[in-house]
Amino acid sequence: MKVSKTVLAAIAAAASGLGSGAALAENWDLPAAYPATNFHTETAVAFGACVKGATAGRVDVTVHPNGALFKGNDIKRAVQTGQAPIGERLISAHANENALFGVDSIPFLASSFDASEKLWKAARPELEKLFASQNLVYVYAVPWPPQGLYTKKAVNSVADLKGVKFRSYSVATARIAELAGMIPVQIEAADLSQALATGVADSFISSGSTGFDVKAWEYMTHFYEVDAWLPRNVVFANKDAFAKLSAADQAAMLKCGEQAATEGLAKSRALTQKYIDALAANKMTVGKPNATLKAELDAYGKTMTAEWAAKAGAGGKAIVDAYEAK
Ligand code: PCA
């Protein structure tokens, strides 16, 4: 076989690079579940650029949006088992594994950005331990905008929701469906437009951000600003993959994570109203729930807070106490 001069030169260059101790770049695929244009995905891409710069190219993170590499529900397990070195996941979707993963989805416990930050701060030490026990390293987390209710008709009380097919994305959303007598069906955001288009779901709870991503106005008529909670996407790394990085590169990655958390939070805050305005501009009826619906949802909140406390035990109670004390 004839080997070209260019190939030989490339081999020689690579060999001399290795000889002088230059490390090969680590390619880290980061599976994500939301569209490329979603602010969480953009934040993850910016995080990747930060890591690349801060590690002088030794760690090269590639974000794979839309559940293309692993579906949303498979991302966490993929990272735990090392099939992916890092990933982003809506963590409350895993509250059935451990109630602590649902700390950000207790209805009306923390329903503003400030409250949500305070709650996360209180929860973070316990959560970091929990991630570590699952072979994961916590890198950063960013909240979605407050969650509201999308429907295809006016809803004046929970009685109007009875029997409605409801798309859930977490244990808490499924529980609300159950309490309201709706029929829950678990659907990833990547499959949501299709579910709405085909009538698999006629209602859902989510942010203006996801409503915007799926063009909710093509299927739904109402968005109630319930402000139920602000669930988080968490970016976590596989512990073994992380341990293989040098101490300096590990520190660089965590520092980029802190930066991503700050930038992602700022974007989430800034975009909240913009997305709600977009729903209204596309002729959806947008507004607060009426007093009856609000009171009924508040009562669900009380029930679910008690249920969560019973499941989350002493660790959960310590978090809520710390949150309420500060
Ligand atoms: N969007 C995601 C989770 C929370 C949100 O605002 C979704 O609907 O799947």
- Let me know if residue 31 belongs to a domain: yes
- Let me know if residue 77 belongs to a domain: yes
- Let me know if residue 16 belongs to a domain: no
**Could you identify the atom of ligand 1 that is nearest to the CA of residue 72?**
9
Residue 238 alpha carbon to ligand 1 centre in Å: 24
pTM of the model: 0.93
pLDDT value, residue 2: 47
203-255, pLDDT tens digit by residue?
Answer: 999 999 999 999 999 999 999 999 999 999 999 999 999 999 999 999 999 99
pLDDT band at 23 (very low <50, low <70, confident <90, very high): low
Specify whether 242 is located in the same domain as 192: no
Residue by residue, what is the 3-state secondary structure of the chain?
Answer: CCCCHHHHHHHHHHHHHHHCCCCCCEEEEEECCCCCCCHHHHHHHHHHHHHHHHCCCCEEEEEECCCCCCCHHHHHHHHHCCCCCEEEEEHHHHCCCCHHHHHHHCCCCCCCHHHHHHHHHHHHHHHHHHHHHCCEEEEEEEECCCCEEEECCCCCCHHHHCCCEEEECCHHHHHHHHHCCCEEEECCHHHHHHHHHCCCCCEEEECHHHHHHCCHHHCCCEEECCCCCCCEEEEEEEHHHHHCCCHHHHHHHHHHHHHHHHHHHHHHHHHHHHHHHHHHHCCCEEECCCHHHHHHHHHHHHHHHHHHHHHHHHHHHHHHHHHHHC
Specify whether 303 is located in the same domain as 219: yes
- Let me know if residue 156 belongs to a domain: yes
pLDDT value, residue 25: 87
pLDDT value, residue 244: 97
Specify whether 170 is located in the same domain as 185: yes
In this model, does residue 159 exceed pLDDT 50? yes
Report which protein residue has its CA nearest ligand 1's atom 8: 206
Residue 6 alpha carbon to ligand 1 centre in Å: 50
pLDDT value, residue 24: 74
Specify whether 60 is located in the same domain as 86: yes
Specify whether 177 is located in the same domain as 297: yes
Ligand 1 binding site (Cβ under 6 Å of any ligand atom)? 90, 144, 169, 189, 206-207, 209-210, 231
Structural domain boundaries enclosing 58:
23-143+232-271
Report CA-CA distances (Å) from 187 to 197, 202, 224. Answer: 13, 12, 20
77-88, pLDDT tens digit by residue?
Answer: 999 999 999 999
Report which protein residue has its CA nearest ligand 1's atom 6: 207
Task: Give the total number of structural domains in the chain.
Answer: 2
Whichever domain contains 319, its CATH number is 3.40.190.170
Provide, rounded to the nearest whole percent, the portion of the chain with pLDDT above 70. 93
In this model, does residue 46 exceed pLDDT 50? yes
Mean pLDDT of 49-68: 98
Specify whether 133 is located in the same domain as 239: yes
Report which protein residue has its CA nearest ligand 1's atom 7: 189
Report which protein residue has its CA nearest ligand 1's atom 9: 189
**Could you identify the atom of ligand 1 that is nearest to the CA of residue 169?**
9
**Could you identify the atom of ligand 1 that is nearest to the CA of residue 145?**
6
- Let me know if residue 237 belongs to a domain: yes
Tokens encoding 284: 């959806």
Specify whether 34 is located in the same domain as 129: yes
